[in-house]
Amino acid sequence: MTKLLQISQLGHEVLRKKASFVENINNKEIQDLIDDMINTVKDSNGVWIAAPQVYESIRIFIVASNPSQRYPDAPKMEPTAIINPEIVYYSDEILKDWEWCLSIPWVRAMVPRNKSIEVEYTDRDWNSQKCQFEGFIARIFQHEYDHLEWLVFLDRLDSTKDIITEKEYQKIISK
Ligand SMILES: [Zn+2]
């Protein structure tokens, strides 16, 4: 039985400490946590969640992607567990786009991110993976990686003027 996990909110110390490497991916507790995180991210209409957001200070996050009103060109990607990730290459080109976070649900902000990245990680079956991502998924990946390094998207802004409330954001996208 999977369960829904509580989401840590900005201000809790778990979001502000460096997450530990996962040593044993076959461990039942780790596999159950991955199932619960996938379940939680689906339930909350999120596309991304990192373990520190469910009070676990370890290096795992879930990435998923679906085309949406805001990101019509987003590819479809089933929820995938990313374990002990490294970003090994960043393209020079920087793009700004809106981001949001389950741990900071009241605001959106225009966040600068590298357009494409090359990453290495371990999947939940303990296989090493090496991939290139660009655009929306590169953005999600960098957002989630930051959670493992005790950063949140507000730390990445060029200016606090790039922050708006969720209510104003909803007005923008409904235009
Ligand atoms: Zn987040």
Q: Is the Cβ–Cβ distance between 59 and 21 less than 8 Å?
A: yes
Instruction: Read off the pLDDT of residues 14-31 as tens digits, 9 standing for 90 and up.
Output: 999 999 999 999 999 999
Would residue 134 show up in a list of annotated catalytic residues for this protein?
Answer: no
Residues with CB under 5 A from ligand 1 (ion): 101
Give alpha helix (H) positions in 131-165: 135-148
- Catalytic choice (13, 86, 120, 144): 144
- Name which CATH class applies to 13-173: alpha beta
Q: Domain extents for the chain?
A: 13-173
Instruction: Read off the pLDDT of residues 68-120 as tens digits, 9 standing for 90 and up.
Output: 766 777 788 889 999 999 999 999 999 999 999 999 999 999 999 999 999 99
3-state secondary structure of 64: strand
3-state secondary structure of 5: coil
CA of 27 to the centre of ligand 1 (A): 25
